[in-house]
Structure 1
Amino acid sequence: MNTSVRTVSDVIHARFDELTRAERQLAESLLDNYPVSGLGSITTVAENAGVSTPTVARMVQKLGFKGYGEFQGRLHQELEASLSNPIAKHDRWALNAPGTHIINRFADAVMNNMRQSLSEIDTGTFDGVVRLLCDKKRAVYFVGGRITGAIAEYFFTHMQVIRPKTTLMSSNSGSWPQHVLNMAAGDVLIIFDIRRYEADMETLARVAGANGIEIVLFTDTWTSPVAKHARHCFKLHIEAPSAWDSSVVALFVVETLIEAVQSAAWDETRERMATLEGLFEQARLFRRLRSP
C-alpha cells in the first residue's frame, strides 16, 4: 500500500478489518482525537488505548510504516498541514512556484484536486446524501465557517427552491442552540469545515448527533474533528498556489448534488420553480427585457 498519498486516518480505516481485537482498540483510540492522540510517546499511546507497547509497534507496521517514528512523523506532517495559516501557505507556494503564469499554476492545482477527489469519492456516500436530501419529511440545515459559510449559503439557496424545510444557520455559534432546539431526529445537518477547523463545529456536531440528527460533512483530506459524528463525509483536496485553500471541488460536489436532487423529483421541482418565478414577477425583482 502506498501510504504517501493518503492520511494515516485513511490507512487505518482501509485496514481496520485486518486488525486484531487489541489493534482495533488502539485504532479507535487513535481516531478518537486524531491526530493529536498519536503524537505522544509509544508508551503513552499504548497506555491511553489500554494495549501493550508491542501492539502499537505491530499495528503501525501492519499499516505500512517502517516503525513508530515514521508513523508519528506522518502525523506531525498532517497536523502542520491542517494548521497552516494563510501566510505560511503563501510562503510555501511562493518558494516552490514554477516559472509559469499564475493562471496555469492555479489551473493545474485545481485540476489535480479534482482528479484526486473524484478518484476517492465514494458513490455510495454521494447517493446516500442524495436520498437524505430527497426525503421531504426531513428538514435540512446548512452551516459553514468564516469562509465556507458562503458555500453553505449557496447550497441552501438552491435547495430551498427544490424542496421545503430548509434552513441556513448563521456562522455565529451563539445562534446554534435555537436551531438545534427545532431539529427533530432524522433531520439533516450539512456542515462545511475546512482546515483551521472551527472549534465550535465539533460541539455542534456532537450535540446534534446525540439528538439523532443525520450529519453530512464537507471537509479536506486532513479531516475535520466533525467527521467522528458524521454519517456521510466528503474528504476533498483543497491545495492551491495561494494563501487560501481552494473551494472549487467542494462547489463542484455541491452543484452535482443539487442537480441529482432536483432531477430525482423534477415534476415537483419544476412546479416550485414556476411558482417562484411568479413571485419574482409580482415583486418585480428582475429587470424585464423591453422590445425596441
Structure 2
Amino acid sequence: MAADDRTVAERLRARFEDLTRAERQLADAMLRDYPMLGLGSITALAEAAHVSSPTVVRLARKLGYGGFSDLQAALRDELQATISNPIARHDRWAEDAPAAHALNRFADVALSNMRQTISSIDPADFDAAAALLADRRRAVFVTGGRISHALADYLYTHLQVIRARVTLAPGHGATWPHHALEIRAGDVLMMFDMRRYERDLLRFAEAASEAGAQIVLITDQWGSPIAKLAAHSFHARIEAPSAWDSNVAPMVLVEALLAAVEARDWDDTRERMRRLEALFDRSRTFRKFT
C-alpha cells in the first residue's frame, strides 16, 4: 500500500484548518463539485472558486502533490476507480499482490481501512448523526443499493429494536417512490451508497431532500454524489485485495452508530427491548434450556 493513498477529498478535509482563507474557499468549491471541478483547466478551477491560479498551485502542493497536474492526475485515477467493475478491481490488485497468505493479506488491509476511516471522522459530526437517528420525534428510513442494502438491512434490524418508526426502504427498482411519498420534513433518511453509485439512490435522496428530510450517508473514500445533499456523510475505506469491496469499515461505523443511539436514551430502549423479549418468549422464537 502506498505511504499516502488518501483521496484528494480526504486530504482537503484533513488539511482544511491549516489553509489560508483563499485556499479554504478553493477547497470548499472543489468539495462541492467533487471531483469534476478539479478536472478542468487550472484557469477554469480558479475562476469557479474566485481565487487566483497561484492559489490553486499552492493548495496542490500543501496537499502533497508536485503541482496542479499531479493533483489532477490523482482525480482522474479516482474517477476511474469509482466506475471500475469487480474484474478490473481484481486485476489491479493481483498484479502486485504480496506473497502473504490471503487471510493475512486481507486482514492487514481491513485493519488499515478501519484506522483510516475512524481517524477521518469528526466526533461532533458523528454525535450529531447519532442524535438524529435517536430522535424519536423523527421517522427514520433506511436504504442502500444493490450490495450496500446488506448494511442497510443490518442497521434497520437493530435500530427498530431500539426505537419505533423505522422503515427499511428498497433504494432501487420501482418501489422507492412509495417510500419517498411518506417522508416528511425533519424525518431522517439513512443511506448507504458505494462506488458505481446508483441512480435510484440519488433520485431517492433528491426527493427526500426536497421533502425536508435530514440525510445521513455512509459512502466510500471517493464519495457518492449524495454527499452534496447529506447533513452528515461518513467516508469509509473499502478497497481490499479482492474483486469485491470490503464492508468492514462501513460495518464498524454502523455498529458504532447503533451503540451511540442505544446509549442516548437507554431507559426507553431497555423498556422496548423488555417488551420485545416478552413477545419472543410468547412465540417461543428462541430455544431455551431451562
Any residues of structure 2 matched to 1:64-213 within 5 Å, and which?
A: 64-213=64-213
Partner AA of 1:180 in structure 2: A
CA change 1:239–1:209 in 2 (3 A) is same
CA offset digits 1:123-175 (Å, max 9, x no partner): 11221122112210011110000001011011001110110010000132422
1:235 match: 235
* Farther-moved stretch of structure 1 (91-100 vs 161-170): 91-100
Which is worse superposed, 82-91 or 47-56? 47-56
Aligned length: 287
Give the residue type in structure 2 aligned to 1:174.
A
Query: Aligned residue for 2:244?
Result: 244
TM-score (norm 2): 0.88
| Distance in structure 2 (CA, Å) of the matches to 1:16 and 1:276 | 46
Shift of 1:280: 2.3
SS in structure 2 opposite 1:182? coil
Q: TM-score, normalised by structure 1?
A: 0.87
Aligned: 1:42 with 2:63: no
Matched residues in 2 for 1:53 and 1:122: separation?
31
How far did 1:15 drift? 5.2
In 1, Cα distance between the equivalents of 2:201 and 2:171? 10
Amino acid at match of 1:95: E
**Cα shift readout 1:76-132 (whole Å, capped 9, x = no counterpart):** 111122222111111122222211211111111111111111222221122112211
> Residues 255-270 of structure 1 correspond to what in structure 2 (within 5 A)?
255-270=255-270
Structure 2 letter corresponding to 1:101: H
Distance in 1, matches of 2:71 and 2:64, equals 9
Offset from partner CA, 1:205-229 (integer Å, 9 cap, x none): 2332232211111011111111111
CA distance in 1, matches of 2:226, 2:248: 21
SS at match of 1:226: helix
Distance 1:219 1:55 in 2: 30
1:266: how far off? 2.0
Q: Could you tell me how far apart the structure 2 residues matched to 1:179 and 1:107 are?
A: 38
Going from structure 1 to structure 2, the CA distance change for 1:290 and 1:181 (only over 3 Å counts) comes to same
SS in 1 for 2:239: coil
The CA deviation at 1:273 is 1.5
The amino acid of 1:277's aligned partner reads E
Kept after mapping to 2: 8 A contact 1:43/1:53:
yes
Unaligned regions of 5+ residues in structure 1, if any?
A: none
Q: How far 1:201 moved relative to its partner?
A: 2.1
What is the SS of the residue equivalent to 2:235?
A: strand
In structure 2, relative to structure 1, the CA distance for the partners of 1:47 and 1:126 (3 Å cut) is closer
Secondary structure, counterpart of 1:167 in structure 2: strand
Query: Residue 19 of structure 1: CA displacement?
Result: 4.7
> CA, structure 1 residues 210+28, in 2 after alignment: closer, same or farther (shift >3 Å)?
farther
271 and 25 in structure 1: CA distance in 2 versus 1, 3 angstrom threshold: closer
Q: Which moved more, 1:180-189 or 1:38-47?
A: 38-47
8 Å contact kept, 2:60–2:71: yes
Q: Which runs of 5+ in 2 are unaligned?
A: none
| Secondary structure of 1:34 counterpart | coil
**1:149 and 1:132 mapped to 2: Cα distance?**
21
What do residues 38-85 of structure 1 show as CA deviations (whole Å, max 9, x unaligned)? 223334445655766556445544555332211211111111222221
* Contact 2:136–2:164 under 8 Å retained in 1: yes
